[in-house]
Amino acid sequence: MKNKISIKMALFFSAIIVVCFAVMYTVNSYVAPRYYHWQMENKISAMMADISEKPKALRTEKWLQEQKEQQQVVIVRVPIVEEDNDAFNERVSFELTRNRVALNRFWITEDTLEKLKGNPEIIQKEYNQDKQKASFLVQLKVLDNQLYVVGVSTVHFSETSAVMNRFNGVTLLLTLLVIISLVFIAARKMVQPLIELKEVTGKIAEFDFVKMTHITTDEIGDLSQNINRMSTNLQLYQQQLVAHNTQLKQLIADLTHELKTPIALIGAYSAGIKDGLDDGTYLTVIQEQNNRLNDIVNRMLKLSQLEQREIKREAVSINKLWSETVNESTPALNLTQHQLQTIGLEKETVIFAEAEVLRLLFDNIVSNSLKYASSKIITATWSQTTTDVTLVLSNQTTLSEDFPINKLWDAFYTHEPSRNEALSGTGLGLAIVAAISEAHGYRTKIAIVDGHFSFILHLPIKA
């Protein structure tokens, strides 16, 4: 990995430098000379325009001298008189020499002079001074029978750019060597956490949920923290999945056990009727076992529906619903000679919930309180805060405080290894309570303290 990243980074930065050099080479060789020439043209054009616009009386030697110094150009003014062309050019050259401009190639032809005399337009020329490695760019114009020469010396930029390009080429090579060296050094440091990332993610893929130990303060460090969170969440999810699968296996085993007994009894008593052994009670036993099967199936269906159905909340009176639950439980309470005392529902209490679901929850809590009660009094204590309504259903019990109370929420768990039906029923009641609480956001708890068994239920007032 280290070599790959180092090579890629070195090639990437080298390519950037090479492209930048190519751009500089193009600019120095083609763009810069044209731009430089254009700038010189603008300078002398602007100066010639100022001279043309200036009235004759104001075009004094003093003014011309000031313009030469300010604009850094050469300005020569030569009167036009009747003389041959050689003499005229000698006078122009003399004036240029007086302005410290020595040219080995400068000549104004007779045709050019005639054009200037007969045309007020400006003529621009460039005189190449080969030995001086420069040129003299001028504009010529005749004003008031005087020839004005405005010029500027220009260097041969092609040679300058060639020198610059050679210098940049050497600089490029040195820069590439430095970049490659620095990239390999930097890549070695950068790759170390990436190598650890590769190893950690490989172990996570094999369900070994390790974490990054070296976390930097850059983006790689942020990635490391995210991978650590992912590892933690995946480990938690796997644990939950394993636990769920274990519960599912236990549920299937418990369901099989619950169904096996009534099915076996129905089969045995049916065979007894067929063999003529019925003493008049066989059909009753078959009907009871059939009812038991029907009860198990109905509760399983109810549990499945609670986990899948859509929640529809409405305003529900706790006072009314609890009163109905107590009335419906009266036959069972009378049968076992228990009393259910309610404390703390003096005021009308309303929450947003599903009435039928809440009724089912109350019914299962009360029925399970009867199973674990060792005294005849069961106390239902209600309290209310600004956000919650709390029910504590408490009674004395023979269960010890080290009893594994969390297992009571599991389906078909009845705390007796023999699964005594008379004591614990189908074992689905508290599983239904747990499903309702999870779906509706209720908080439930079972506690055994000082010989008292308590169901604690917190109901939010608002959904």
How confident is the model at residue 424, as a pLDDT?
A: 47
Top-tier CATH class for 312-460 = alpha beta
pLDDT in tens, 294-308: 877 776 776 666 556
Say what the alpha-carbon torsion angle 204, 206, 210, 213 is, to the nearest 10 degrees: -70
pLDDT in tens, 354-373: 787 788 888 888 887 777 77
How confident is the model at residue 209, as a pLDDT?
A: 83
Min mean pLDDT across 73-87, 172-186, 397-411 is at 397-411
Q: Collect all residues with Cβ–Cβ distance below 8 Å to 441 and sequence separation of at least 6.
A: 460, 463
pLDDT band at 150 (very low <50, low <70, confident <90, very high): very high
Q: Collect all residues with Cβ–Cβ distance below 8 Å to 24 and sequence separation of at least 6.
A: 165, 168
How confident is the model at residue 306, as a pLDDT?
A: 59
**417 SS3 class:** coil
Asked if residue 418 has pLDDT above 50, the reply is no
Asked if residue 232 has pLDDT above 80, the reply is yes
The burial class, CB within 10 Å (0-12 / 13-18 / 19+), for 261 is middle
* pLDDT cut 70: percent of the chain above it: 87
Q: Where are the domains of the chain?
A: 2-160, 210-308, 312-460
Distance CA 121, CA 118 (A): 9
Asked if residue 98 has pLDDT above 80, the reply is yes
Min mean pLDDT across 65-79, 177-191, 207-221 is at 177-191
Asked if residue 421 has pLDDT above 50, the reply is no
* Amino acid sitting at position 212: M
Taking residues 129-156, what's their average pLDDT? Answer: 84
How confident is the model at residue 308, as a pLDDT?
A: 62
pLDDT band at 429 (very low <50, low <70, confident <90, very high): low
Distance CA 25, CA 280 (A): 114
pLDDT band at 42 (very low <50, low <70, confident <90, very high): very high
pLDDT in tens, 316-349: 888 888 888 888 888 878 887 888 888 888 888 8
pLDDT in tens, 274-300: 888 888 888 888 888 888 788 777 767
Distance CA 461, CA 318 (A): 10
User: Regarding predicted confidence, which is higher, 113 or 130?
Assistant: 113
Asked if residue 462 has pLDDT above 80, the reply is no
How confident is the model at residue 437, as a pLDDT?
A: 77
Distance CA 329, CA 366 (A): 8
How confident is the model at residue 363, as a pLDDT?
A: 83
User: Regarding predicted confidence, which is higher, 412 or 130?
Assistant: 130
Instruction: Read off the tokens for 99.
Output: 């302005």
CB 32 within 8 A of CB 161: yes
How many Cα atoms are found within 13 Å in the side-chain-facing hemisphere of 440? 29
Task: Please identify which residue in the block is written with the tokens 């608002």.
Answer: 462
| In 275-317, alpha helices (H) | 282-308
Task: Please identify which residue in the block is written with the tokens 């001086």.
Answer: 132
Q: Is the whole-model pTM more than 0.75?
A: no
User: Regarding predicted confidence, which is higher, 132 or 147?
Assistant: 147
pLDDT band at 417 (very low <50, low <70, confident <90, very high): very low
Asked if residue 423 has pLDDT above 50, the reply is no
* pLDDT cut 90: percent of the chain above it: 2
Taking residues 249-259, what's their average pLDDT? Answer: 67
**428 SS3 class:** coil
Min mean pLDDT across 7-11, 13-17, 126-130 is at 7-11
Average pLDDT, whole number, for the chain? Answer: 80
How confident is the model at residue 414, as a pLDDT?
A: 57
